[in-house]
Structure 1
Amino acid sequence: MPRTRLDLDRIRAARRTIDPVYLDTPMYRCDALGRRLGCTVSIKLETANPVRSFKARGTELVAGLLAEQGRTAVVCASAGNLGQALAWSGRRRGLGVTVVASVRAPAVKLDRIRALGAELDLVDGDFEMARERAARIARERGIRLLEDSLDIETCEGAATIGLELAGGESPFDAVLIALGGGALATGVGHVLKTLVPETEVICVQPAGAPALTRSWHERRVITTESAGTIADGVAGRFPIPEVLDDLLVVADDAVLVRESSIIDGMRLLLEHTGLVVEPSAALGVAAVLEDRDRFSGRHVVTVICGSNVDLDAHRRWVHP
């Protein structure tokens, strides 16, 4: 396999740095959901932890490294989940954490970032504006800027999910991964293509925020003017070139799904698994709904990547 920025030995070593509370998350077959979708479905539940998303696998590595270096502060831009994870990891290591987010981010995510002790800096714009603001704060204060998906720790932390998938007892045909900045997809994809290369790695992105999927298909960075989707956690407009290079190596396909399918996926996850998830976590189910013939009779794994969702919004979407 062509090389990526990731390293399997470092990924294996990462498990010794990450707090065990984030490791070995539940994975189980959901027959009720599978019958509804016409295939065998297993769920990898990355929400069963203190920050309700997979992001802390990466921030644990970053915060541990900064503590070893004697650094005292770090800043990141976040749609919400990374900020919570970094605040959690930084607090347990005595790091000052600043999170830059959009004022339009879900209130539940912003409230939890504050509750975890981070300084919250809000911008009146989208995630890309938050990225610019975070970079400026890092320069002005002389502190570490954590850039999700660009910083290899975020990818290799997420890649430990791939180790758990590859080490499972039940073989599967494909894994469906939400595609935003790319850390989850490149991390899990790298491990699976290294250890179980016959597994199909399929990335899923909302049609309203298609930049990285379009870039994957065109094999060059394509930006978009806007990112209109309820799946705020994956709503980026400017793909990172290094991430695209990695994704081109490890992903077998990248697909776009409609907003209506995302909502249907959230509803099915609630009805058949009892899970309240944020829109990004329903992308895998949405992909099956839109292409049932492709997955018919196959065993697929969908990574449930986050459950930090505004409950009022969830009720509007799922119980119109």
Structure 2
Amino acid sequence: MHDVHRTPLKQSKTINRLTGRQVFLKMENQQRTGSFKLRGALNKICSLTKEEASRGIVCASAGNHAQGVALAASERGISAKIFMPKKTPLAKVEATKSYGAEIKLTGETYQEAFTAASEDMLANGSTFVHAFDDEKVMAGQGTIALEMMQQCPDLEAIVVPVGGGGLIAGIAVAAKTFHPQLKVIGVQSQGAPATYNQFTGKNTGYMNQAKSIADGIVVKKPGKHTYPVIEQFVDEMVTVSDEEIAYAIIFMLEREKTLVEGAGAAAVASLLCNKIDGQRNKVGCIVSGGNVDLSKIEHYRKLSHQFLDEKPLTSMS
């Protein structure tokens, strides 16, 4: 069975100069399937019993988890049925199909696809592989932190994009187990701040509406299993606007020659836009994925210009 890539941890002189610190970018956009999600999916699917595997897998995803599950299932020879929202970009649907999964386009949002997948699981007795709210999935994502601590043993903080919380929960447990003093900071989109709201005591975290260009982290409520882990092990949570995320996407494309999706740009945006306090100098930053719908790049460019017009970065002059 194939493994996940040990992705590069790289620095950017430009980002270091603009932020006044040493930033180490963990390039999960270069992971197989184009995102970190393969790690959790592979860990979960490799740990299924023969009996669980024989029933086939079902899951719901807006894109990256779908590709991770489809690839991991095909490598273990398990059939996979994946429910995706109708508006999922064609590139993500085709990529998932190419790994051999059966695709069902259902509903307008991830939540509706998730409901349909849950009903299918009950009807057919399939094994459900959740996108984030699962301990094996969280543990798989936590391998990123283990790699980062090997690649740069004196990191002082890790900045992580947060949707349902599987990535930050796994990273926080791994980081705090080996380096309790390492700070773990979560970043959410201002348009989908469910976990941020609960973490900062604003409300219980459930949102009727959630919208952002960072579709990979648009989740309406914190995970039942992920949130208690976040509450225990995460140090800080911040939010970034769509304009700031778009600025980070275009920045990474133009300055770093690398394609980063909205969710993957969120952590970068928090650093470029000074959302993280300045006490920690060596900061790891998770660039979680690169599966961009290329037709939206022009829209991101416009949002980025809007951001720069409204808040010129003094350090960029």
TM-score when scaled to structure 2?
0.90
SS at match of 2:47: helix
| 1:290 aligned residue (256, 273, 281) | 273
SS at match of 1:100: strand
CA apart distance, 1:67: 5.9
CA–CA distance in structure 1, aligned partners of residues 299 and 259 of structure 2: 13
CA apart distance, 1:254: 0.9
Indicate yes or no: 2:84 matched with 1:101.
Answer: yes
Equivalent position of 1:54 in the other structure: 36
CA–CA distance in structure 1, aligned partners of residues 96 and 286 of structure 2: 23
CA apart distance, 1:32: 2.1
| 1:85 aligned residue (60, 68, 71) | 68
Equivalent position of 1:71 in the other structure: 53
Equivalent position of 1:43 in the other structure: 25
Which runs of structure 2 are paired with 1:179-194 in the superposition (5 Å)?
179-194=162-177
Indicate yes or no: 2:228 matched with 1:245.
Answer: yes
CA apart distance, 1:277: 0.8
| 2:251 aligned residue (268, 273, 276) | 268
Indicate yes or no: 2:129 matched with 1:136.
Answer: no
Indicate yes or no: 2:175 matched with 1:172.
Answer: no
SS at match of 1:66: coil
Indicate conservation of the 8 Å contact 1:75/1:146, yes or no. Answer: yes
CA–CA distance in structure 2, aligned partners of residues 50 and 71 of structure 1: 22
TM-score when scaled to structure 1?
0.89
Q: Which runs of 5+ in 2 are unaligned?
A: 306-317
CA–CA distance in structure 2, aligned partners of residues 113 and 70 of structure 1: 22
CA apart distance, 1:36: 2.6
Letter in 2 for 1:256: T
Same amino acid, percent of matched pairs: 26
CA apart distance, 1:46: 1.0
SS at match of 2:76: coil
Which runs of structure 2 are paired with 1:96-245 in the superposition (5 Å)?
96-218=79-201, 221-245=204-228
Residues 235-280 of structure 1 deviation map (CA, whole Å, 9 limit, x = unaligned): 0102222211010011101111111000111112112221111000
CA–CA distance in structure 1, aligned partners of residues 52 and 222 of structure 2: 32
- With 219-228 and 43-52 compared, the bigger mean Cα shift is at 219-228
Indicate conservation of the 8 Å contact 1:219/1:248, yes or no. Answer: no
CA–CA distance in structure 1, aligned partners of residues 191 and 30 of structure 2: 28
Indicate conservation of the 8 Å contact 1:38/1:296, yes or no. Answer: no
CA–CA distance in structure 2, aligned partners of residues 50 and 285 of structure 1: 21
CA–CA distance in structure 1, aligned partners of residues 264 and 29 of structure 2: 9
Letter in 2 for 1:241: K
Letter in 2 for 1:280: A
Matched residue pairs, number? Answer: 302
- With 252-261 and 237-246 compared, the bigger mean Cα shift is at 237-246
- With 248-257 and 283-292 compared, the bigger mean Cα shift is at 283-292
Letter in 1 for 2:38: A
Residues 30-67 of structure 1 deviation map (CA, whole Å, 9 limit, x = unaligned): 21222133321111111223301111111112222236
Residues 93-145 of structure 1 deviation map (CA, whole Å, 9 limit, x = unaligned): 11111111111222221121112211111122211111111100100111111
- Structure 1 segments, 4+ long, off by >3 Å, are 67-70
Q: Which runs of 5+ in 1 are unaligned?
A: 1-17
Note closer, same or farther for the CA distance 1:295–1:79 as it changes in structure 2 (3 Å cut). Answer: farther
Note closer, same or farther for the CA distance 1:169–1:177 as it changes in structure 2 (3 Å cut). Answer: closer
Indicate conservation of the 8 Å contact 2:15/2:272, yes or no. Answer: no
SS at match of 1:205: strand
CA–CA distance in structure 1, aligned partners of residues 280 and 224 of structure 2: 36
CA apart distance, 1:293: 7.3
CA–CA distance in structure 1, aligned partners of residues 218 and 147 of structure 2: 27
- With 35-44 and 291-300 compared, the bigger mean Cα shift is at 291-300
CA apart distance, 1:220: 7.0
SS at match of 2:34: coil
Equivalent position of 1:11 in the other structure: none
CA apart distance, 1:71: 2.1
Letter in 2 for 1:90: A
Indicate conservation of the 8 Å contact 2:134/2:225, yes or no. Answer: no
Equivalent position of 1:254 in the other structure: 237
Letter in 2 for 1:166: M
